[in-house]
């Protein structure tokens, strides 16, 4: 299993080591571009520079061009930072899924499934690596956003933000009495929320991989496309159920007499039920995938 993990890690890393620095450098450049563009814009100019630009026509022309250029730069940099992390995430996801498909369901399967490694271990290594890369991608996107914010925001704005949050913010909160029932509700709610979040990510990965397996085992052509289609359809169906569950929760909450709002019993029950549902879906998808790979492998 360790060997399989190592090879999976290496193969995705080959692409990741190129696209991750591109994302980070782009975040830095976008951040700096916005900061510089803000500096050369008229609104932020100090009076002396403004006077100089008006006095000397040459500087005035430069300032006008800079002003015209700065706005599109800010727009472009912001759009780029909205798009790039998503592109980065999609590339990683497609890479992982394509590799899963290629290793298991194309001619490479003749090598993969004749290794002295059990199919359960092969499948588990893929699941672990998918989880690992998706988490790493989310972390990478987070770092890129932080870099972008740090580079695009000047010191004055930062001090204003800090002042807002730490200077007077906390004193505005009303003093509350300790309510132990609420406290335990909160604990159980947050625990359920955390378990549900992890379960939703893992079950999504399992459903994704199982969809690809389903596509690859039930037809002879366009296997990968069918797999992606099955995944899209299943997430669509699941989102309808999730919407229905949310609607029921809101109805229950609105009928509640308790003042503890979201931390009441129905809220906690919904969070835990969702967590259980995700765990159930994940286990179901995993068992189905295992059965398909063990019994119905459909190599070309």
Partner 1 sequence: MFVIECKGLKKRYGKEKLAIENLDIQLESGRIIGLLGPNGCGKSTFMKLLTGLLVPTAGDITICGYTRSEATNNFISYLPERTYIGGRKKISTMLDYFEEFYPDFDKAKAYDMLRSLNLDPDSHISSLSKGNREKVQLILVMARNAHIYLLDEPIAGVDPAAREFILRTIVSNLNPGATVLVSTHLIQDVEPVLDEYIFVNYGGKIIGRGTASELMEAEGKTVDAKFREVFRYA
CA atoms within 13 A on the CB side of 150: 9
Which residue from 11, 16, 19 is spatially nearest to 99, judged by alpha carbons?
11
What distances in angstroms separate CA 88 from CA 81, 203, 258, one per listed residue?
11, 22, 45
Structure tokens at 169: 């913010």
Structure tokens at 119: 């199919």
Q: Which is nearer to partner 1, 35 or 119 (CB)?
A: 119
Which residue from 196, 221, 227 is spatially nearest to 209, judged by alpha carbons?
227
Cβ atoms 268, 191 nearer than 8 A:
no
Sign of the alpha-carbon dihedral angle for 236, 242, 245, 246: negative
Q: How far apart are CA 173 and CA 44, in angstroms?
A: 35
Q: How far apart are CA 53 and CA 50, in angstroms?
A: 5
Q: Which is nearer to partner 1, 103 or 249 (CB)?
A: 103
> Which residues contact partner 1 by CB under 8 A?
3, 7, 107-111, 113-119, 294-295, 297, 299-300
Q: Which is nearer to partner 1, 14 or 155 (CB)?
A: 14
Q: Which is nearer to partner 1, 104 or 231 (CB)?
A: 104
Q: Which is nearer to partner 1, 191 or 297 (CB)?
A: 297
Q: Which is nearer to partner 1, 118 or 160 (CB)?
A: 118
Q: Which is nearer to partner 1, 54 or 294 (CB)?
A: 294
Q: How far apart are CA 295 and CA 281, in angstroms?
A: 21
**What's the DSSP call for residue 166?**
I
Residue 275, judged by CB atoms within 10 A of its CB (0-12, 13-18, 19+), counts as buried
- SS3 label, residue 45: coil
User: Minimum CB separation from partner 1 for residue 9, in Å?
Assistant: 14
């Amino acid at each position: 299993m360790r060997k399989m993990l190592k090879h999976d890690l290496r193969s995705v890393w080959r692409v990741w080591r190129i696209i991750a620095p591109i994302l980070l450098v782009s975040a830095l450049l976008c951040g700096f571009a916005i900061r510089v563009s803000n500096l050369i814009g008229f609104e932020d100019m100090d009076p002396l520079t403004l006077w100089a630009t008006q006095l000397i026509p040459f500087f005035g022309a430069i300032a006008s061009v800079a002003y015209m250029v700065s706005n599109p730069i800010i727009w472009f940099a912001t759009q780029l930072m909205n798009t790039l992390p998503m592109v980065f995430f999609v590339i990683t996801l497609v890479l992982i899924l394509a590799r899963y498909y290629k290793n298991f369901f194309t001619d490479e399967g003749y090598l993969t499934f004749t290794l002295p490694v059990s199919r359960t271990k092969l499948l588990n290594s893929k699941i672990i690596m998918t989880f690992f890369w998706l988490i790493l991608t989310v972390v990478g996107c987070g770092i890129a956003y932080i870099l972008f914010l740090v580079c695009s925001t000047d010191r004055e704005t930062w001090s204003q933000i800090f002042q807002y949050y730490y200077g007077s913010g906390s004193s505005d909160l009303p003093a509350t009495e300790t309510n132990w029932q609420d406290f335990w509700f909160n604990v159980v709610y947050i625990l359920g929320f955390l378990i549900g979040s992890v379960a939703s990510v893992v079950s999504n990965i399992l459903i994704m991989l199982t969809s690809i397996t389903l596509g690859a085992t039930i037809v002879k052509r366009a296997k990968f496309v069918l797999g992606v289609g099955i995944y899209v359809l299943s997430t669509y169906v699941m989102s309808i159920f999730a919407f229905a569950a949310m609607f029921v929760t809101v109805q229950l909450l609105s009928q509640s007499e308790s003042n503890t709002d979201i931390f009441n019993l129905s809220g906690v029950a919904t969070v835990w039920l969702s967590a259980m549902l995700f765990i159930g879906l994940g286990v179901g998808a995993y068992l189905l995938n295992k059965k398909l790979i063990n019994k119905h492998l459909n190599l070309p």
